[in-house]
Amino acid sequence: MITNLARGAQAFTSNAFLVEGERTVLVDTGANFDIVAKLEERDIDLDAVVLTHTHPDHVGNLQAVKDAFGVDAWGYDTDQPGVDHAIADEESVTLGDDEYVAYHTPGHKNDHLCFYSTAAGVLFAGDLVFQNGSFGRTDLEEGDREQLIESIDRMRAAVDDLGAMHTGHGPSVEMNPSQDIELAARAARMN
């Protein structure tokens, strides 16, 4: 089961997806809302935090979650504050009951990762792409439009029979998410 714990938060935050199962994982922690209380309400045993990237809106609640649940955080770059363990490009990671492949997808931020499970048909896209063909900003530090386009193209080639795409902001896409990736690839080239 995948639940966005940031849903309804009246604050500047990313989405924060709780993936329950054999290995219960929080994908991004969000920021500026009490995610610890939301996790405690669920009465779950949290095993780890996995980060799509370390922009403040995605990791603002990280230390609070680590302190409350005694878990480690996994991300691409252990030089980033709060990241305890590295996830390498194309490394397999268990989220819930499924195996996901981590794809290093820079362009929005150097340490950006997407997570895709062929078996589940699910993509955690972070801030690479969003609903309706939107894509991650490249005007922030470490942003690079050409790299972002390459990363979007990489995910276009990697995903097959995609049933759901969970993005860093906005609603999840559960109706033909591959089309949104295609639209983002075209839109990123136009600006």
Residue 103 contacts by C-beta under 8 Å, 6 or more apart in sequence? 89, 90, 113, 114, 115, 116, 151, 154, 155, 158
With bands split at pLDDT 50, 70 and 90, how would you rate the model's confidence at 113? very high
pLDDT digits (tens, 9 = 90+) for 155-166: 999 998 899 999
2-190 maps to which CATH number? 3.60.15.10
Q: Is the pTM higher than 0.85? A: yes
pLDDT digits (tens, 9 = 90+) for 165-183: 999 999 999 999 999 999 9
Domain ranges of the chain: 2-190
Average pLDDT over residues 9-13: 90
Q: What is the pLDDT of residue 191?
A: 62
